[in-house]
């Protein structure tokens, strides 16, 4: 069944390019939703629309006795101005599909088409999750609220591009057991002191001095409090405080992100950031408050499901084009973690990195592009996984 995806390669490219022209951001993707609905109608596939965002859940064999498998694509783009000179360039000012989610949507539509055409041979239901807002980690929770995983036995998703390593050639499929991507959370520390004239610091409490101690203290957490084999990151990307050289301000804002591969380390970082901030501030007579903007947990693949998906991929592409172990997982995050928190499954990668076609740029770069030749492979592996799972 999966080999039929080769026959729709041209259609997959067209869909990807159509979507590439109309990138939309966040939870509200009206044009993208309209496009996906039109395709589902054309294919004669049943679907429901989410409450709360532009997400769509499509069904093949809805309610058919047997197992239920869910396949997921994300549909949102980024606030980036496209630098590629292609005839399917973004027509939306300041917005771009610079992460390949246009390809994800196209590949999942292709898989839905082929699975629907062969639905009688499937012993169960396939559910297709077209989610919004992956880039801000808000789309998957809305999907869960709309019961996307109700009754689902396993969930699979693929990310195209150069994520793991740009030297992995286009057309290589990667699926590994265990943690494959990190948690990603944002934190904001508000340090409060007491403003005064710069000539008389003893009359106030200097929040800039406190912030300097907090920054160094946070580095100490990473250096001294985690096992050296555990990858964890704390990065501060934004500090703001003060307006003039001779005024001690009232307040400093410190904003950053944390990454980890276990829930334990993720929670420990949040706890220790709060303690270091609070006690550093207290030591100098000020206060500090932590706000955690929780993003997504680490993406942890079920070992059995990863092995199963790897075998399916090998049947589609051949052993030489499938990687089932990598040197290190990726420090980036993915809100696919929300699904893996509910049911077993695997998050997979399809390389589209090809220097000859200049598709080896990093994700979120204004030059990001994909080698479209691999699109059918993404659909075919989805089809193979679903048809094997429902045998
Ligand atoms: Zn992205
Ligand atoms: Zn992405």
- Confidence band (pLDDT; 50, 70, 90) for 59? very high
- pLDDT of res. 192: 98
Cα Rg, the chain, nearest whole Å: 23
Res 327: pLDDT: 85
99 C-alpha vs ligand 1 centroid, how far in Å? 5
Report the predicted TM-score, pTM, of the whole model to 2 decimal places. Answer: 0.92
Q: What is the mean pLDDT of residues 61-77?
A: 98
Is the pLDDT at 320 greater than 90? The verdict is: yes
pLDDT in tens, 114-162: 999 999 999 999 999 999 999 999 999 999 999 999 999 999 999 999 9
Distance between Cα 155 and ligand 1 center (Å)? 20
The arithmetic mean of pLDDT across residues 310-335, rounded, is 95
Mean pLDDT for all residues in the chain: 97
197 alpha carbon – ligand 2 mean position (Å)? 48
pLDDT digits (tens, 9 = 90+) for 152-187: 999 999 999 999 889 999 999 999 999 999 999 999
* Domains of the chain by residue range: 4-181+298-389, 183-296
Ligand 1 centre to CA of 2 (Å) is 28
Helix (H, G, I), strand (E, B) or coil at 319: helix
Q: Are 264 and 179 in contact (CB under 8 A)?
A: no
Which candidate, 390, 387, 389, 379, places its Cα nearest to that of 73? Answer: 379
Percent of the chain with pLDDT over 90: 98
Closest ligand to C-alpha of residue 74 is 2
pLDDT value at residue 372: 98
How large is the average pLDDT for residues 14-26?
Answer: 98
**Is-same-fold flag (4-181+298-389; 183-296)?**
no
Please state the rounded mean pLDDT for residues 369-381.
98
- Kindly report, residue by residue over 208-248, the tens digit of the pLDDT: 999 999 999 999 999 999 999 999 999 999 999 999 999 99
Asked if residue 328 has pLDDT above 90, the reply is no
Q: Domain 183-296 has what CATH class?
A: alpha beta
| DSSP three-state, residue 174 | strand
How many A from CA of 182 to the centre of ligand 1? 13
- 281 to each of 215, 237, 273, 305, how far by Cα in Å? 12, 20, 12, 47
Q: Does domain 4-181+298-389 sit in CATH 3.40.50.720?
A: no
Kindly give the residue spans of alpha helices, DSSP state H, lying in 66-120. 101-117
């Amino acid at each position: 069944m999966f080999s039929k995806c080769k026959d729709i390669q041209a259609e997959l490219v067209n869909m990807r390019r159509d979507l590439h022209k109309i990138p939309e951001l966040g939870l509200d993707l009206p044009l993208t939703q309209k496009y996906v609905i039109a395709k589902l109608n054309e294919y004669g596939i049943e679907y429901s629309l989410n409450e709360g965002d532009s997400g769509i859940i499509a069904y093949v064999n809805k309610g058919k006795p047997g197992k239920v498998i869910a396949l997921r694509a994300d549909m949102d783009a980024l606030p980036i101005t496209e630098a590629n000179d292609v005839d399917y360039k973004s027509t939306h000012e300041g917005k771009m599909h610079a992460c390949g989610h246009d390809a994800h949507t196209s590949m999942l539509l292709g898989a839905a088409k082929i699975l629907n055409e062969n639905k009688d041979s499937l012993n169960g239901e396939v559910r297709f999750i077209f989610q919004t807002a992956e880039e801000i980690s808000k789309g998957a929770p809305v999907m869960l609220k709309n019961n996307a995983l109700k009754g689902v036995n396993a969930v699979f998703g693929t990310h195209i591009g150069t994520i793991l390593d740009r030297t992995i050639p286009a057309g290589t499929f990667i699926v590994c057991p265990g943690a494959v991507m990190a948690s990603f959370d944002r934190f904001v520390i508000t340090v409060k002191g007491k403003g005064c004239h710069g000539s008389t610091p003893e009359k106030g409490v200097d929040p800039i001095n406190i912030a300097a101690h907090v920054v160094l203290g946070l580095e100490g957490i990473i250096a001294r409090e985690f096992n050296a084999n555990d990858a964890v990151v704390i990065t501060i990307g934004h500090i703001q405080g003060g307006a003039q050289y001779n005024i001690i301000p009232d307040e400093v804002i410190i904003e950053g992100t944390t990454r980890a591969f276990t829930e334990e380390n993720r929670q420990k970082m949040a706890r220790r950031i709060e303690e270091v901030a609070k006690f550093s501030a207290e030591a100098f007579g000020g206060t500090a408050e932590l706000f955690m903007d929780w993003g997504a947990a680490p993406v942890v693949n079920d070992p059995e499901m990863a092995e199963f998906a790897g075998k399916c991929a090998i049947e589609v592409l051949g052993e030489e084009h499938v990687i089932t172990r990598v040197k290190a997982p990726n420090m980036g995050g993915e809100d696919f973690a929300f699904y893996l928190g509910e049911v077993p499954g695997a998050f997979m990668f399809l390389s589209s990195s090809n220097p000859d076609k200049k598709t080896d740029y990093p994700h979120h770069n204004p030059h990001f592009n994909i080698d479209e030749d691999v699109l059918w492979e993404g659909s075919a592996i989805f089809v193979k996984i679903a048809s094997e799972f429902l045998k």
